[in-house]
Structure 1
Amino acid sequence: MLLYQFQKGTNPRRVIIYLNEKGIDVPRYELDYAGGEHKSREYLAINPGGRAPTLLTDEGVPITDSAAIVEYLEALYPGTPMIGTDVVSRSKVRSLERLGTDLVVRSQLWLWNVTQSFPAKEPSPSLEVADKLFGYVTEILDVLEMTTADNEFLAGNTPTIADCTVFSIFQTCRERFDLAFGADHPCLDAWYKNFRQRPSADY
């Protein structure tokens, strides 16, 4: 098994944080994004989308979606479950994780326009577009704020895959781009600061 990653990337982060929380040791290969290795012929043969992460299983099967990688590993390593322990809790965690995935997608579109850091994705960033997009981001932050109000973690009192997903985009915005992402949502702000103290969250 081998995980192709870009350590600072949002989607790889959700897998990396999950692995750290679970204590799973998977061999890793750090892609040289600056050098364009993720677009190399060799890597495209493994992941035609040219993105990270990719998990190459022991059978040689590439899994090219971060959420699918996490669920695959959760099935392989069911101890200390992070996807729920019964049908109700699993449904809750998956709902929050999918909401978190939507947050990642919307926030990445926003980042492409609010920064100058993604010329390959958005060659003409627009603050007007960014402002509109952030309204869609805020819709999800508002829902998560209500969900987190009485919990230490997003789905309750233990970390789940939902925390890994949502934390990854918070960390990208706050640490890579110094943006006050979620600062207007006090419960999420407290949740982020609490989770950031966990060893799993370190770069």
Structure 2
Amino acid sequence: MLLYQFRMGTNPRRVIIYMAEKGIDVPRYELDYHGGEHRSPEYLRINPAGRAPALVTDGGVAITESGAIVEYLEELHPHHSMIGTDPLSRAKVRALERVGNDLCVRCQAWLWNLTDAFAAKEPDPSRPLADKVYRYVEELLDILEASIGEARFLAGGYEPTIADCTTFAIFQTARERFDQPLGKTHHKLDRWYRDFRRRPSADY
């Protein structure tokens, strides 16, 4: 098994954080994004989308979406479940993880237009468009703020779930890579982020 990653990327980070929380050790290969290795013919044969992550199983099958990779690993390692232990808790975790995934998508569009770091995705960044997109980002932040309440983790309980891994990854990208105050005015989420950031899994 081999995980192709770009450790600074949001989607790879949700897998990396999950594996660290779960205690799963998978061999990894760091793609040279700056050198364009993720667009090389060799890597495109593994992941035609040309992005990280991609997990090649022991049987040689490539799994190319971060959410699918996490669920695949969770099925291989069901102990200390991070998706839930019964139908209701699994539904709650998956619902929140999907909100976190939507947040990733909206934040990426926001960051593409807020910075000039994504020329391949957005060669003509637009601050007015970034501001407009951020309104849709805040819509999801409001949902997560209401959901977490005073709990330590997004789905409640005493242990993180895949919802935390997904959502934390985009918070970390915005705050640490691009110095953007994502969620700073959502005080419960801000507290959650600062607490999660102290976990060993959150280290770059």
Q: 1:130: which partner in 2? A: 130
Shift of 1:149: 1.2
**1:172 paired to 2:173:** yes
Shift of 1:110: 0.2
- Report the aligned-residue RMSD: 0.4
Distance 1:85 1:44 in 2: 37
For 1:81-120, what aligned pairs fall within 5 Å after superposition?
81-120=81-120
Q: 1:13: which partner in 2? A: 13
TM-score between both structures, scaled by the size of structure 2: 0.99
What SS does the corresponding residue of 1:83 show, helix, strand or coil? coil
Deviating 4+ runs (over 6 angstroms)? none
Give aligned-pair identity as a percent.
67
What SS does the corresponding residue of 2:78 show, helix, strand or coil? coil
Distance 2:115 2:94 in 1: 31
Q: Where do 5+ consecutive residues of structure 1 fail to align?
A: none
Q: Where do 5+ consecutive residues of structure 2 fail to align?
A: none
**1:200 paired to 2:201:** yes
Q: 1:38: which partner in 2? A: 38
TM-score between both structures, scaled by the size of structure 1: 0.99
Q: Number of residue pairs matched?
A: 203
Q: 2:183: which partner in 1? A: 182
Shift of 1:66: 0.1
Distance 1:149 1:172 in 2: 23
Distance 1:151 1:72 in 2: 27
For 1:122-161, what aligned pairs fall within 5 Å after superposition?
122-157=122-157, 158-161=159-162
Supply the AA of the counterpart residue of 2:8.
K
What SS does the corresponding residue of 1:44 show, helix, strand or coil? helix
Distance 1:13 1:97 in 2: 14
